[in-house]
Each structure stands twice: as C-alpha cells, then as structure tokens.
Amino acid sequence: MAQTSLQGLRALGAVPADVAAGWVYLREQPCWSVRHELAAAWNEPDAERLPLTFLIQPPAAGHRFCEMQLHASRPHSGRCSVVWKGSLPGPLCTTVLRAGARHLRVLSLTPRLSTGGNSALADLAYDMFASASHALTDRGLNFSDVVRTWIHLRDIDRDYEAFNQGRRRFFEAAGLVRFPASTGIQAALAGSGYPLAMDLYAVGGGGKATIDAMNPASMGEARDYGSFFARGSLLRDSEHNLVFVSGTASIDRQGRIVAPGDAKGQLRCMLANAAGVLGQAGLGLADAVSVTAYLKQASLLSEFRGAAQAAGLPASVPTAILVADICRPEWLCEIELVAGRTQD
C-alpha cells in the first residue's frame, strides 16, 4: 500500500509532503504500527505528524487488509502554498493557503473527557466538538468556517442518537446558522479507546472563498429528524466550485427509508439522491473527483459497482469501498463524494 500510494502521488506530480489529509482503512487492529511503517516507506522523519487518520473499517474487497485514501495539494503558480503541519499543541492539523484563504484539516480528534466514570456519549460528543472549536480558534478560524465533518462511531447502532444530542447541544450553544456537510458512520479510531472520533475540513481567514449549505433536493432536511448537518456544502473560490456531498443513503423527502431490504433499489435511490444534491450546483456524478462508499455487507460490492456505472459515476474516479454499519440498521448502503469544476 505504501509503495502504491507513492506511485499514485508521483503520477500526479505530488509527493508525500503534499498530502493534506488521508485515511487508512484497516480490516482489524494490527499488532504493528502502520503509521511508522508508512513514515519509513515515505521517508518521512516524524511519523506522528503524518496527516492520516487510521480507522478499523474493513475494505469491501475481501482480499485486502488495508486501503488508503489521500487528499493532496500541489503548489502551483504561487497561488497555493505547501502543506504546513504547524507546531501548535493539540490535535493533528494541516494548513494550505490557496487564493488568499486558509484550508485547515483537523484529524483524529477525540473528546478531552475520560471515557471512564459517568461520561455519557452525548457529553463526549459535545466535548469533542468543543475541542474542535478550540483547535479552530487557535488557528484563526471558527466553527462557522467548517465545510465538512467526518464522524466515526465504534457502535453506531447504540450511540448515534446520543451523538446527535451532543452535536445539537454544541451547535445550539455556538449559535451555528449554517450546518456543515457530514458523514456519521461505524468505524473505530485505531489504537483509541474512545467510542467516537472526528475529522474536519474548514476554510476561512481571507480570500474570496465562500461556503453555502446545499439544498436537500430529493431528500428532506436532516435536521427535521434530529440530525444536524447539511446534505452538502458548496465551496467556491476564484478557481474552483467544489461540492462536498454528505453521507447519503436511500431516503425520501419525509425521512423515510426507500426500498427497505432491496439492495438494488437502495443503491439506485442513494445515487439519485447524491446526483440531486450535485445538480443544485450544476454538477453531476461525472464531475466526481473522490468517492467513499459504505456497504452493510461486502457481498454488495459488485452490485454497487454496477449501480454506480449505470448512474454515470466514472470508473476512473478514486473510490474507497468499505464495509460499515450505517446510522439506520435498515440501510444497506451510503455514499459520500467530492465533485467540482474549475472556474471559467
């Protein structure tokens, strides 16, 4: 995996130092340090500063122990800086300056509260968001600058409702008007005893970048059934229009599950819903640049690929396909993606 990732980066004119964020998906907790092995292969001297989140979240391809997804930024024309990992204490962060705006990633963030004692999941969730807010403030941003979050829950069936309670409390206390895009999915932060963790992406601090919540299109607003996130975020600057589609499943405008028990029906609806969000920005699945798909069972892998092709998602788009429980037990699949075009 380390060598393949190096080859992929080099093919795009990038090197490991250009990686702004990445995720390593593991079938199980290894007895050795994947982080240190990667650092050695990439010739990176400080393994702890690699901007990677390591998750126990099995690849859907049964023969794979691990899979990696990377977001990299190449400096060009003086309008985009190198990836700066910083020296402030706290969670692992990277910053890229582009077109006058600061693009910040916060990775592998966990609550500050102890998991022992009487710390309820909702309190842990609130504290995790508060910790994220402090990290943003320390770097000159705030939570209103957040484009997207990724929420990893070790036991999503048990904890998703309590997590939503904690997130709602934090957003209300912060007076947040625009909610970020988000995915909440089953995964465990490797080597961590916490039942939840978070990554986020924020943009602010100047320039002409703007962030808008996307219209839910064929879906209702998530807040209508107690989940406080936007169906997608539209990030616009002087160079690009990028849409970050939240974790999207087979749901209708009333928040009801579409095609329960029918994998093909759910896959069609899921992809149509994602396309509907993209359509609000004049984009389609053909404009996708990065995809992550979550399947309840690995046996759905070929059906997902067939449905994605039929829906117009290019096979060439980098896609991580993982096995995970989703926030409602009846859902069999979920997708998140990034799509965009260069400004004319």
pLDDT of residue 287: 98
Q: Which CATH class is domain 2-342?
A: alpha beta
Closest CA to 295 of 250, 242, 239: 250
Contact between 180 and 199 (Cβ < 8 Å): no
Contact between 236 and 185 (Cβ < 8 Å): no
| Domain residue spans of the chain | 2-342
DSSP secondary structure letters along 184-236 = EEE-EETT---SEEEEEEEEESSTT-EEEEPP-TTS--GGGGT---BSEEEEE
pTM: 0.95
* Secondary structure string (H, E, C) spanning 125-191: HHHHHHHHHHHHHHCCCCHHHEEEEEEEECCHHHHHHHHHHHHHHHHHHHCCCCCCEEEEEECEECC
Long-range contacts of residues 251-259, Cβ cutoff 8 Å, at least 24 apart:
251/219, 251/220, 252/218, 252/219, 252/220, 253/216, 253/218, 253/219, 253/220, 254/220, 255/220, 255/224, 255/225, 257/328, 257/330, 257/331
pLDDT of residue 74: 77
H or E element: which one contains 268?
helix 263-279
**Edge-to-edge strand ranges of the sheet holding 52-56:** 66-72, 19-26, 52-56, 188-189
pLDDT of residue 207: 77
Per-residue pLDDT of the chain (344 residues), as tens digits, is 989 999 999 998 899 999 999 999 999 999 889 999 999 999 999 999 999 999 999 999 988 999 999 999 876 655 667 788 876 677 899 999 888 899 999 999 999 887 655 579 999 999 999 999 999 999 999 999 999 999 999 999 999 999 999 999 999 999 999 999 999 999 999 999 999 999 999 999 777 899 999 988 899 999 988 899 999 999 998 778 999 999 999 999 999 999 999 999 999 999 999 999 999 999 999 999 999 999 999 999 999 999 999 999 999 999 999 999 999 999 999 999 999 988 76
Dist. CA 4–CA 43, nearest whole Å: 15
Radius of gyration of the chain (CA): 19
Strand partners, 103: 96, 203
